[in-house]
A = this chain, B = another copy of it.
Amino acid sequence: MTVASERHTELRHQDADIRARASRVIPGGMYGHMLANEHTLPPSYPQFYDRGEGALTWDVDGNRYIDFMCAFGPMLLGYRNPRVDAAVAAQLAIGDTLTGPSPRMVEFAELLTATIAHADWAMFAKNGTDATSAGVRIARAATGRSKFLKAAVAYHGANDWFTPRAAGVTAEDRANIVEFEYNDVASLEAALTEHAGDVAAIIVTPFRHDSFVAQEAVDPEFARAARRLATAHGAALLLDEVRTGFRLDVSGAWESLGVRPDLTAFSKALANGHPISALVGVDALRAAASEVYVTGSFWYSAVPMAAGIATVTEAVAQDAPRVIRDAGLRFKTGLEAQARAAGMPLELTGPVQMPLMIFADDVHKKRAFAFTDAAIRRGVLLHPWHNMFLSTAHTPEVVDDALARTQDAFDELASLDL
């Protein structure tokens, strides 16, 4: 297999240059999920990216990758999806951020309430954090209570309640957070009982997608218990679909379990990469949702709403979760077989649409780093400790192309003692 024409080189001249410039004008050289250093990502991992097309992305040195990160989720239908791009171009030619919202806002709210089973209303913001935070605030306004329950470790955003690192966060900011263990009904029940009468909301992800460890499906009994207990205690059940939205089930991640939340937060894939988030909810919380103060300078912007309408319409028409599930299953089956044959057993944990790689006997992630590194040098962008994402652009041909390259990567690793 030749990769020369794709310029896969271990010398990253442009990337190194830009990192050096970044180190002067950005604290630590980078912030957020792509802060790539020797501790967080393998040495070959590109830091700066030039372009995307379908399932492919190019770094600033012109190296091409089959991208299994999908921008950490936002890319659902392929980079530069023609239908989404056409909607964006049409809206940009009229108006984006105007003095008030455009009709796209109402059209998008109508589409989401028609698509998501429990949704009677919708509100829009920019960050996933805006939507999860607004959900908690609405639950508090509705109940007059202070506490909210979240699973230990679970990430729900980057405000002072949720950040995994506590630098600059005060004890007061976290005084009203009570933790339970994911999939552990007894721990949820205990937390509710301990704070009986003061729990406004339970916030929970559709499955357990903490970084570094194996992802874990929700136990249907846990989901049903969360619903039952929330109702019994007069608390709102807030489903955090920021990461999962439109990859698991367009009508709601727990719909197949017969469990409907009171509130759901969406963002990432909602507009195929255009900046928008949404909180949807049930009628019982409508009055509280109209009482809380939520606003932002770009929360009316029409282009991301036009992109969202095109994305959700297309996701429903294509049954994107099914398409992506097929792609994910093909990738998981192929990659796990290659790993087994190479004597480096690997499991792609969690839903196949957004798997997280866990190698056997790899507590220190040495195998995960080495394999990710080898795959990247062959044009396949994976992640050693965060869940990955597939898209509808990951056709069988694309997945098979990736698997040919990962086979090559395993061959290289066979000679190493990992």
Q: Which residues of A contact B (CB under 8 A)?
A: 18, 21-22, 25-28, 30-34, 36, 46-52, 57, 60, 67, 69-75, 79-80, 85, 88-89, 92-103, 105-106, 109-110, 113, 120-123, 125-130, 133, 136-141, 146, 158-160, 163-165, 167-173, 175-176, 242, 267-268, 273-275, 277, 281, 286-301, 304, 381
Contact = CB atoms under 8 A, between A and B. Distances in A.
A288 B168 contact: yes
A286 B25 CA distance: 9
A22 B109 contact: yes
A129 B102 CA distance: 23
Contact of A296 (B46, B88, B89, B128): B128
B51 A158 contact: no
Contacts of A128: 296-297
A358 to B, nearest CB: 21
Nearest to A171: B146
Contact of A275 (B88, B120, B286, B298): B298
Contacts of A301: 273, 275
16 contacts: A25-B113, A27-B281, A28-B290, A34-B100, A36-B100, A47-B100, A48-B101, A48-B106, A49-B95, A80-B95, A97-B275, A125-B127, A159-B159, A163-B292, A173-B173, A275-B304
Given A137-B167, A165-B291, 11 more contacts: A26-B109, A34-B300, A48-B103, A51-B98, A57-B98, A67-B99, A71-B99, A88-B92, A99-B381, A138-B168, A141-B168
